[in-house]
Structure 1
C-alpha cells in the first residue's frame, strides 16, 4: 500500500520504489530533519520485528528513514535512541535491532552502489580506460566522471582537464568525483582489472547512479556529490 500523499513525513514509510505521489522528502526518525529520499536511508522492519537496512528503499512493509552518518547511527543504537524512536514511530510490537546495524547498513549501501555500476556496465554505458575516457571527454561525450578513492592526483587531474575542455568549461573547477571505493572494489564490482577511472556518456545513467551514490556518501559523512573540484567528496577509505 502506498503512503497517502499528505502523510506526515515522520510516519513509518510503506512505499516501495520511488513514486512521485509519495513525495520527495522524508523525515529522519532520529533528528527530525527532513531531506530528500535520495539522500536518506530507509530501515525496514520485518513482520518479526527485525530492523534491517533497505538500501534500495524498495522492501515491502513498515520502514523508517534516517538521515545521519554511520557514527551517529551507531551512537543511537548504543544509547537506545534508535530503539526508542522506532518504538514511537510504530507504536507497539517488539523490535530487534542488531548491534552491527551500522556496519550492515554501510555494507548494503556499498553493495547497492556497486550493483548499480555493474548494471550500467552490462548495459554498455560505462566508459573505462584512461585513454578512452580522455578522448571521449575532449569530444564532449562524457556526462559524468569518477575516480577511485586511491586514484593518483596526476591521472585524475589530466582526465578532469580533458572533461573541462569537452564541456567548454575551462577555468570552472569542474572535475570528476572521487568515489568512496578503491580500485580493488571497483574492479570486483565491474569484473575488470585495475579500474581506476570511469565515466558515463548517458545522462540518465548518471542520474541512476547518483541515487545509491548519494545515500552512501551521506552515510559516510561525505559532502553532497557534485563535480566541483572545490567540493570533492570525502571518503573513509
Structure 2
C-alpha cells in the first residue's frame, strides 16, 4: 500500500457521475459550482459546497459535453439544480489545472530534497538502488534516457526487463521553472513516498489528457515510478460507460 502507516483504512471512494464507476477519490477529478454559476475544476477538492466527480479522459468529456451527451444531466443531479453554466473550454480548464497541480507537486518535492537532477547524479543513485522514479523532459535525448533506464535496471536487479522512466509532455524550460533549477532534462526520485505522491499527480493529468498527447514511452507515472514492492498500487482508471 502507498500508506503503510494505516493500511487497514481504505482510501475514500467517489462515483463518477458519467460512467457510474467507483474509484479512490484521488484518482478522480472534482468539479465544483462557483458562486457565479460556472462549473469549474477543483482538482484539489478544496472548494466548498456540492461537488461532482468524473473519471473520464478529455476526449470522453468532450463527447459527454456535446448536445447529445449526458454531462449536463449528470451535473444537475449532482448539484441538485439546473442553474449553472458549463464553460465551453471546461476540458481545457481541467487539463490546465491538472498540469499545474503536477508541476506544483514537482516543486514541492524539489524543495523537500526528494528529487535529483543531472544525469550523472541520477545514474549513480540508480546504480546504488536508491531510485524510486525516473522522469524525462519531452525533448530529452534517447541516448540519455536509455542510459539512465539501464542504470535503474542494474540497480534494482532487473536487467532484461522493460523498466524505464517516463517521458513527460513537458519540455526543459517548463520543468526547470517548476523545480527552480537550471536545464532540467531528467528527474530522479529518491524517496518512496515522494514517488507515490508524484505518481498520483502525474497519473491523473496524463490519464485525462490521453495517450495522444503523451510522448513515448507511454506508461503511467505509477508504472514508471518504482519496481514491484517499492511503490504502491497503480492508479485506477475509470473511463468507460459514457
Q: What is the TM-score of this pair, normalised by structure 2?
A: 0.79
Q: Which has the higher contact order (CA 8 A, sep 6+)?
A: 2
**Structure-to-structure mapping, 1:131-210, within 5 angstroms:** 131-210=120-199
Q: Which runs of 4+ in 1 moved over 4 A?
A: 20-23
Q: Which residue of 1 aligns with 2:16?
A: 28
Whether the aligned pair in 2 keeps the contact of 1:56 and 1:212 (CA below 8 Å) is no
Residues 170-215 of structure 1: CA deviation (Å, up to 9, x unaligned): 1122111222322222112112222111011111111111221111
Selected match of 2:202 from 213, 225, 228: 213
Shift of 1:21: 7.2
Q: Which residue of 1 aligns with 2:224?
A: 227
Shift of 1:29: 0.9
Q: Which residue of 1 aligns with 2:61?
A: 73
C-alpha RMSD of matched pairs (Å): 2.0
Whether the aligned pair in 1 keeps the contact of 2:17 and 2:75 (CA below 8 Å) is yes
Whether the aligned pair in 1 keeps the contact of 2:106 and 2:198 (CA below 8 Å) is yes
- Structure 1 stretch displaced more, 212-221 or 40-49: 40-49
Q: What is the TM-score of this pair, normalised by structure 1?
A: 0.81
Once residues 22 and 62 of structure 1 are traced to their aligned partners in structure 2, the CA distance between those partners, rounded to angstroms, is 23
Once residues 49 and 35 of structure 2 are traced to their aligned partners in structure 1, the CA distance between those partners, rounded to angstroms, is 8
Once residues 198 and 83 of structure 2 are traced to their aligned partners in structure 1, the CA distance between those partners, rounded to angstroms, is 36
Q: Which 5+ residue runs of structure 2 have no aligned equivalent?
A: 1-7, 212-218, 226-242
Residues 76-128 of structure 1: CA deviation (Å, up to 9, x unaligned): 22325211110122222511211111111100000000001001111121100
